[in-house]
Structure formats: structure tokens, C-alpha cells
Structure 1
Amino acid sequence: MLRRLYDWTMSLAGRKSAEIWLAVIAFVESSIFLVPADVLFLPMSLAKPERAWRYALTATVASVLGGIAGWALGYYAFEAIAKPILEFYGKLDAFNQMSAGVTYGWVLLLLVTSGLAHLPPIKVVTILSGVAHIDLGLFIVSAIVARGARFFFLAFLLRRYGESIRHFIEKRLGQIVMAAAAVLIALYGIFHFALAS
């Protein structure tokens, strides 16, 4: 199923309505969809590099709005809507583990790491933020910073290096950013544990 979703998302890049689809995918990725918007953003920006910044803005705005929708699902409709979505994607166990010892600072850190590196998946964290009643204003600012940094950094790389950087982005950049996100999470855990003891 994931492969079919990925292939379908990739096929949207060549359409005249690609920018609309980018906004749709970025929106639903942040609350209910499995395939990241990068899958559409990369080929679109390579095909029309002069529009890379515009695509980054579109993806950022739509992703933040989708994050707000995920927050609302967690805040207002966890049992009715959000929980079945998490079960469908096999993310409910991960969600339950994260929510067990949740703190305000922990959720904010996860917002940044998931926005930058999909670690953990953004939809899990947006829903968790609503369940944990994270302040919506702070949530929005965190989402803008994290998602904007990701899309605008990708736009910068694609504008500067073009097709030659695509393989690196698809194969290595995600691993590097995920490793950095994991270090941030580990440092937060060590810092939090040191304060508690």
C-alpha cells in the first residue's frame, strides 16, 4: 500500500495542478497521510527551479495548517477520529509510548524534530500536541520554524546544486537530519534526567 501511495504522489508532480496537490499533500501529511510532501516537492522544484522558493512557501503554509488540523484532532476528537487514524497506520503504540511520560518541553522538542526530520512522524506529534493541550500559538510558531526550515533549506539546495544534489537529498540528507534530531532528543533526555535527579 505504501508503495502505491508513493507512486501516486510522485505522479502528481507532472500535472498542471501540481502546486495545488503539493499544498494538499503537505496539509494531510501533517495530520493523516503517510507519504511526506518532499516526494512531490523535490521533482517540482527540480523541474521549475525558479519556483522553488514559492513551492517551499506553499508547502510550509499548508503543512502548518495541516498541523493545526492534527492538533485539533488530538484536542477535540482523539477517541472518535485521531485514534482510528493512528491505528490504521500502525502508529498507535508509538503514540501511546510517547504520551505516557509526556511533558510540555518534550512535545515541543518532538515538534521540531518531526518537522525537520520526520522523527517521529509529524502526524503523531501534531495529534499528541492536541492531546497534551500544548498552547496553540506556541505550537504554530514551532511548526512554522521546523517545517519552514526544512522546505526552504531543500529549496536552497535544489536552487544552488540542481539535479546533482537530488540523490544526496533522497538518500543521505534524511539520514543526516534524523541523526541530528536523534541527538537533540537524547540531549534533551539527558538534560531532563539530570534536572530530575
Structure 2
Amino acid sequence: MKIFGAMYDKTMQWSKHRFAAFWLCLVSFIEAIFFPIPPDVMLIPMSMSKPKSAVRLALYTAVSSVVGGMIGYAVGYYAFDFVQGYITQWGYQQHWDTAISWFQQWGILVVFVAGFSPIPYKVFTIAAGVMQMAFIPFVITAFVSRAARFLLVAKLAAWGGEKFAAKLRKSIEVIGWAVVVLAVIAYLILK
């Protein structure tokens, strides 16, 4: 069953759309608050298809993520009682517990690490608000971390460019199904 090739082709087509940067910013913004899909899934194809725009796109992504992170911080600071039930409901409880323990151990450095962590970024933005972390250091650290991550991702994707995109397209079915299998195994193990 070949489904990943069509999805890959559509993603590459969308990455060249005239409003692609807007959608990238929107996804980056909402991912820092509640959205489950990281902006990398848009940044990578956009950087591969437009290598000269990779740095600009990475900075758009970082700024949007930090602004979303500020909203996430406010949610944690002012409305955690409302959000608390969703953390468990959406399956983030283990991530939440990890983030809180990291904040207690390392303070502001956690925000920097969160930019590169596989734990969803929204967990850290909300946790920073709950822990009432100093706001300005939070914003500065979040920007440095997110900008570093997205610049790295964008530059690597741009470096590969269209040639890498063509090679990736040839293997996308195997990669896609491998990811699905690994996700199911991880779910069964962590369940």
C-alpha cells in the first residue's frame, strides 16, 4: 500500500505555495501551545525546495514558536487548573512530570534544552508558566533555543536541496512505514 509517496508529493507541492510561510508560522505558533505536530514537517520541505530562503524560514519559525510559547506560558501561569485535565487526556502526563522535575532541578536551562528535546515543546511552555519562571529570561532562552534548532534543521534541509528531496522521494514508502511500525512498538512498550 503506497500512501506516503502521495503525501510527500503533496507536502512538497504545498511547500512552494505562496502562503506556505504563513502556514509555517501558524503551525509553529500553535505547536508551542497545543498542536501535536512540530513545524519541522513544514520547515524541512520548504527549506529543501527553497534553499536560499532557509534561514529566513527558520527565523520565522523560531519567532512564531516563541510567541506561541509566550501564550503557553500565560496558559500555565493563569489557567493551569483548566488545562490540567487535558494533560492527562491527551497523553502528556509522563512528559509533564518529566518537565516539572527538570524545571525543579535545572531552572532556566530546561527551556534551552526543551528546544531540542523530543518532549513536545508545549509541555515546557506551559510548565514554565506553572513554575512562574521569570518571563524575560524565558523568552530570551526560548528564542535562542528555538532559533538554533530551526536554523540547524533548515540549513541541513537546504544543504540537501532538491537532490536530497528526489532521493528521499525514492525511499519515502520504506521510511514512512518504518516510522509507523516504530510508533506502534513505542506505544505498546510505553502503554
Query: Does the alignment reach a TM-score above 0.5?
Result: yes
Structure 1 residue aligned with 2:159: 160
Structure 2 residue aligned with 1:51: 53
Query: Equivalent residues in 2 for 1:153-192 (5 A)?
Result: 153-163=152-162
TM-score for both structures, normalised by structure 1: 0.71
- Counterpart Cα distance in 1 of 2:71 and 2:141: 15
SS at match of 2:108: helix
Structure 1 residue aligned with 2:185: none
CA offsets 1:155-186 (integer angstroms, 9 cap, x no match): 2223333245666xx98xxxxxxxxxxxxxxx
Structure 2 residue aligned with 1:29: 31
Query: Equivalent residues in 2 for 1:33-182 (5 A)?
Result: 33-80=35-82, 82-99=83-100, 102-103=103-104, 106-116=106-116, 118-163=117-162
- Counterpart Cα distance in 2 of 1:101 and 1:152: 25
Structure 2 residue aligned with 1:181: none
Quick check: which has more Rg, 1 or 2?
A: 2
CA offsets 1:48-88 (integer angstroms, 9 cap, x no match): 112111111110100000111111110000011x3244234
- Could you say if the C-alpha distance between residues 165 and 146 of structure 1 is closer, same or farther in structure 2, counting changes exceeding 3 Å? farther
Of 94-103 and 83-92, the range deviating more from structure 2: 94-103
- Could you say if the C-alpha distance between residues 100 and 147 of structure 1 is closer, same or farther in structure 2, counting changes exceeding 3 Å? closer
Structure 2 residue aligned with 1:184: none
**Percentage of identical aligned residues:** 33
Equivalent residue pairs, number: 160
- Counterpart Cα distance in 1 of 2:53 and 2:103: 40
Contact 1:83-1:92 within 8 A present in 2 as well? no
Residue 20 of structure 2 is aligned with which of 15, 18, 21?
Answer: 18
Residue 100 of structure 1: how far off its partner (Å): 5.4
Residue 106 of structure 1: how far off its partner (Å): 2.1
- Counterpart Cα distance in 2 of 1:113 and 1:102: 11
Contact 1:107-1:129 within 8 A present in 2 as well? no
- Counterpart Cα distance in 2 of 1:162 and 1:129: 37
Contact 1:114-1:122 within 8 A present in 2 as well? yes
- Counterpart Cα distance in 1 of 2:153 and 2:103: 31
